[in-house]
A and B are shown apart, each in its own frame.
Chain A
């Protein structure tokens, strides 16, 4: 959408210059620092400077690090399951709310609360709710006749518990985006479908869903990017435990850097994480583009 030439050429890029300059300044040094450090071995020592080891860290990451592989699995499981549930549930909830009813505005408002809450504060509340000895989750669960669980304290239940927390917090975001798209849909196709005798399910799957797909895809992309970067919630609840059962790549980097002081190695891992986030988003974008085409 470029304009034809009556205004001086200087103007357009001046608009974007300040933001761009800032971002370059803010981001360039950290990325360079991390990049350079990733080729070294350094323990933040004041007496020994970083030692250049070339691709040594990367080789270790790929070939010798079972902790890294574990964190990849944990990340894939956590992000994969929570994003899928959030998208499915979000669209479903949007469909549920896509009608006129009393208190609609209030409901929509209340549903945003999880997204707006402070993750650290919510994490502490959920952590207590999940306490196997005195948390309310076990009380609720035994109230409906199930066995009390260990939630965050057991390697088999910790990821589902964290996923539940994440789904609780971010489904409303997907729901809001999907709902906005649904509300903006034209009524004519629906009227036609009803006349043709289609039932509600058919309408939803063959009419609504395809029409809101771009918006939902955008929401999915947003969640994917943020989910891979999840930190506060896991840090405040399990710190990656028990053991390494909930140690996503982000948490793993944190442990390597700030608990083991392996700054060089952590830098390499950080770049791998970044590439992972970039790649997964690129895949989603290209999927979207191929659909549009």
Chain B
């Protein structure tokens, strides 16, 4: 629970009392930045498509013109790097993933602290209702005492499995990773269906592998800050991950990123995947999916050390170089408001606002196993998918290289030791000041 200033508390009280809230809304001036133009750098993904489609509404509401640019992940990061290095004043809002890049970006001063705007009643609409966000997700957007971004979604890694194949084989959804391995073996039927599909590309694999790491009792870093890769937990996790994929995965695994894993399941060619819960909407889209109605969801299986559920959220931030922070904040509020997020939630995409999850009409239409799993996992999910380090990308790549080596059949112990050494020297250089 954050400490609010008196003003913000008053605003909250006013907002919570029914009829007067409309008066409060009428008092909030959406047109306070009328006539400005802002530029947003975003990721090319389903929720930004939604923003683009509704831009005219925002422009009508605020009189602020929006130049919206979206790119795939790598291109977005490059453009961001070039523009921030050049201290471009012409960038007002941009998207990033706090658990991956938050520490790095905030140490580099690439985020504007949103707290002043949040506490300013003239800047933040009382209807915006910050407390509506899942607390875990909201907290994940904080670094160094600053609120660096607002989450645009809430994602946790869940297990999607082919209910039809499981039923036909008389199998129950696995509760442990060992059971997952056995189920994958049973259902592995190339070239039609592979038992288990997961990310294998150097820059992507660690995200999925991290679940195995924590399930075996491992950690990205030990309490003393050293890499947790040279431990037996990491070795067991890596061995199991590589073993399952080598035996029951698809031949292109070493190149698999989220696109490939999603496509495999969508095409009905994977029996089990462990990935973003936000894909449920696509799996139920009859235009694109061959597995409509054939899948179900179960909580991500645990390992010898139990289970830790993963949390991830793309989020949007205001650039510190922006000269139109108020106008930018108006956009951010609008984009993450209940009204804007509701249609996405209705399509099966997980939003970070709790109120959208309790709507009974929506709950009735949501796939029950998905709803149950995601709600369970959100309660305790942590951003374990990425290392909490300034040089997170380098750490990820070092681990990814080790995973690639294991996938290619090399000795995982040796690979992990090399990775641990690399991670330690990288972290030594960047994180220890």
A and B in direct contact, judged by CB atoms within 8 A: yes
Given contact pairs A132-B252, A238-B255, A261 touches B81 in the complex (Cβ within 8 A): yes
Q: Which interface class (under 10, 10 to 19, 20 to 34, 35 or more) fits A?
A: 20 to 34
Judge if A131 is at the interface, Cβ distance under 8 Å: yes
Contact A44 B84 (CB under 8 A): yes
Which residues of A from 184 to 226 have beta carbons under 8 Å from B? none
- Residue in A238, A244, A261, A263 whose Cβ sees the most chain B Cβ within 10 Å: A261
CB neighbors of B among A149-167 (8 A): 150, 152-155
B242 in the interface (beta carbon within 8 A): no
A46–B254 CB distance below 8 A: no
Select which of B108, B393, B400 is within 8 A of A48 by beta carbon. B108
Q: Does B394 contact A (CB under 8 A)?
A: yes
Contact with B along A237-271 (1 / 0, CB 8 A): 01101111000000000010111110100000000
Does A131 contact B81, Cβ atoms closer than 8 Å?
no
Min CB distance, B406 to chain A, in Å?
11
User: B253 in the interface, Cβ–Cβ < 8 Å?
Assistant: yes
Please report which residues of chain B, range 155-207, place their CB below 8 angstroms from some CB of chain A when the two chains form the complex: 191, 200-203
* CB closest residue in chain B, given A240: B202
- A243 and B81 contact, CB distance less than 8 A: no
Option from A44, A48, A150, A263 in Cβ contact (under 8 Å) with B252: A150
Residues 26-51 (chain A) with a chain B CB within 8 angstroms: 43-48
A258 in contact with B108 (CB, 8 Å): no
Bound form: Cα–Cα A244–B422 in Å? 15
CA distance A132 to B430 in the complex (A): 39
Q: Is the CB of A46 within 8 A of B252?
A: no
Q: How far is the CB of B266 from chain A (nearest CB, A)?
A: 13
- Known contacts A45-B109, A133-B191, A243 near B255 by CB under 8 Å: no
Q: Contact: B405 with A258, CB < 8 Å? A: no
Give the interface size class of chain B.
35 or more
B394 touches A133 (CB 8 A): no
Choice from A148, A150, A261 contacting B104 with Cβ under 8 Å = A261
Q: Are the C-beta atoms of A241 and B254 separated by less than 8 Å? A: yes
B87/A260 in contact, CB under 8 A? no
A175 vs chain B, min Cβ distance (A): 32
A239 CA to B269 CA, complexed, in Å: 25
Q: Is B251 an interface residue (CB 8 A)?
A: yes
Contact B74 A44 (CB under 8 A): no
* A263 to B107 Cα, complex, angstroms: 16
Interface string of B395-412 (1 = CB under 8 A from A): 001001100110010000
Find out whether the CB atom of A260 lies under 8 angstroms from the CB atom of B394: yes
Interface string of B92-105 (1 = CB under 8 A from A): 00000000000010
- Is B78 on the interface with A (CB-CB < 8 A)? yes
Nearest-neighbour CB distance to chain A for B148, whole angstroms, equals: 13
Q: A150 contacts B393, CB within 8 Å?
A: no
**A153 and B253: CB pair below 8 A?**
yes
Contact A46 B251 (CB under 8 A): no
Q: Please, which residues of chain B bring their CB within 8 A of the CB of A48?
A: 108-109
Q: Are B391 and A46 in contact (CB under 8 A)?
A: no
**Are A132 and B77 interface neighbours, CB within 8 A?**
no
B92 CB, min distance to chain A CBs, angstroms: 15
Structural contact, A154 and B408, CB atoms closer than 8 A: yes
Contact between chains at B401 and A244 (CB < 8 Å): yes
Smallest CB gap from B107: residue in A: A45
- Near A by CB (< 8 A), chain B positions 112-128 give none
Known: A46-B320, A133-B250. A152 touches B110 (CB 8 A): no
Q: In chain B, what residue has the closest Cβ to A155?
A: B408
User: Is there an interface contact between B255 and A153, defined as CB atoms closer than 8 Å?
Assistant: yes
- B77 A46 Cβ-Cβ under 8 A: no
| A131 interface neighbour in B109, B252, B393, Cβ under 8 Å | B252
Q: Is the CB of B104 within 8 A of A47?
A: no
Chain A residues with Cβ below 8 Å from B269 are 133
| The residue from B74, B108, B203 contacting A46, defined by CB atoms under 8 A apart | B108
* Bound-state Cα–Cα, A48 to B81, Å: 15
Q: A133-B250, A133-B251, A257-B81 are in contact. Are A243 and B404 (CB under 8 A)?
A: yes
Asked whether any CB of chain A lies closer than 8 Å to the CB of B279, the reply is no
Q: A241-B202, A242-B404 are in contact. Are A263 and B85 (CB under 8 A)?
A: yes
Q: For window 47-93 of chain B, which residues contact chain A by CB distance below 8 Å?
A: 74, 77-78, 81-82, 84-85, 87
Q: Which residues of B contact A44 (CB under 8 A)?
A: 81, 84-85, 108
**Chain A residues with CB below 8 A from B74, complex form:** 239, 259
Q: How far is the CA of A249 from the CA of B85 in the complex (A)?
A: 22
CA distance A128 to B394 in the complex (A): 28
Any A CB within 8 A of the CB of B321: yes
CB distance from B381 to the nearest CB of A (A): 26
Query: Which chain B positions have C-beta within 8 A of A133?
Result: 191, 250-252, 264, 269
Q: In the docked arrangement, what's the CA distance between A44 and B430, Å?
A: 13
Nearest CB of A to B55, in Å: 28
Q: Restricting to A133-149, which residues have a CB under 8 Å from any CB of B?
A: 133, 148
Which 5 residue pairs across A and B have the least CB separation, nearest first? A47-B109, A45-B108, A44-B85, A243-B404, A46-B109
Instruction: Write the residues of chain A forming the contact surface with B, with a CB cutoff of 8 angstroms.
Output: 43-48, 131-133, 148, 150, 152-155, 238-239, 241-244, 255, 257-261, 263
Contacts A47-B108, A133-B264 supplied; 19 other A-B pairs, CB < 8 Å: A43-B430, A45-B109, A46-B108, A46-B320, A131-B252, A132-B251, A133-B191, A133-B250, A150-B251, A155-B254, A239-B203, A241-B201, A243-B400, A255-B397, A259-B203, A259-B397, A260-B393, A261-B108, A261-B393
Give me 13 A-to-B residue pairs in the complex whose CB atoms sit less than 8 angstroms apart, sorted by A's number: A43-B430, A46-B87, A46-B109, A47-B107, A153-B251, A153-B253, A155-B404, A239-B74, A241-B201, A243-B405, A258-B82, A259-B77, A263-B85
